[in-house]
């Protein structure tokens, strides 16, 4: 399954923005889900916030490698523990040629992203 992420863009300093929730939709046991972030403009100021609200184990994430001179050699990977809100500032190395960032989320073994983890991602883009 796939989720097209709705970003929160903030253009001015000292300005509040409403952060949009992007919940997982996968109800498959062990089902991974791809979230695609489409940037308003090429920026190095993109914050990914991940919320694992369940108590079913850690959710794993993998941010695909982008393209160009600043592309990293490896995907950015990590986990989000039970009940934890985690933030990562993504650099330009993870932006594809089409201006997107692709992230794959994987539930804990035997679990589902939507029902067991109630997983949600948020993206803040400083433009």
Task: Indicate the CATH number for domain 2-11+20-126.
Answer: 2.60.120
What DSSP character marks residue 81? -
One-letter-per-residue 3-state SS of 82-103: CCEEEEEEECHHHCCCCCEEEE
Whether pLDDT at 48 is above 70: yes
Tell me the three state secondary structure of residue 42. coil
pLDDT band at 94 (very low <50, low <70, confident <90, very high): confident
Segment 69-85, tens digit of pLDDT:
555 568 889 999 999 99
- pLDDT of amino acid 74: 81
Q: What pLDDT is attached to residue 39?
A: 87
For 6-35, what is each residue's pLDDT tens digit? 999 888 889 888 999 999 999 999 999 999
Reply yes or no on whether the pLDDT at 44 is more than 70: no
Q: What strands lie across the sheet with 33-38, from one edge to the other?
A: 2-5, 33-38, 100-106, 59-63, 76-80
Q: In whole numbers, what is the pLDDT of the chain averaged over residues?
A: 89
Average pLDDT over residues 55-69: 85
């Amino acid at each position: 399954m796939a989720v097209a992420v709705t970003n929160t863009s903030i253009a001015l300093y000292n300005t509040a923005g409403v952060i949009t929730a992007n919940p997982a939709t996968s109800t498959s046991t062990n089902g991974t889900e791809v979230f695609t972030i489409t940037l308003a403009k090429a920026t190095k100021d993109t914050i990914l916030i991940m919320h694992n609200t369940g108590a079913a184990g850690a959710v794993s994430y993998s941010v695909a490698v982008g393209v160009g001179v600043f592309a990293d050699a490896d995907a950015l990977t990590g986990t989000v523990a039970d009940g934890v809100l985690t933030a990562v500032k993504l650099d330009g190395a993870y932006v594809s040629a089409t201006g997107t960032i692709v992230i794959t989320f994987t539930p804990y073994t035997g679990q589902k992203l939507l029902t067991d983890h109630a997983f949600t991602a948020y993206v803040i883009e400083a433009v």
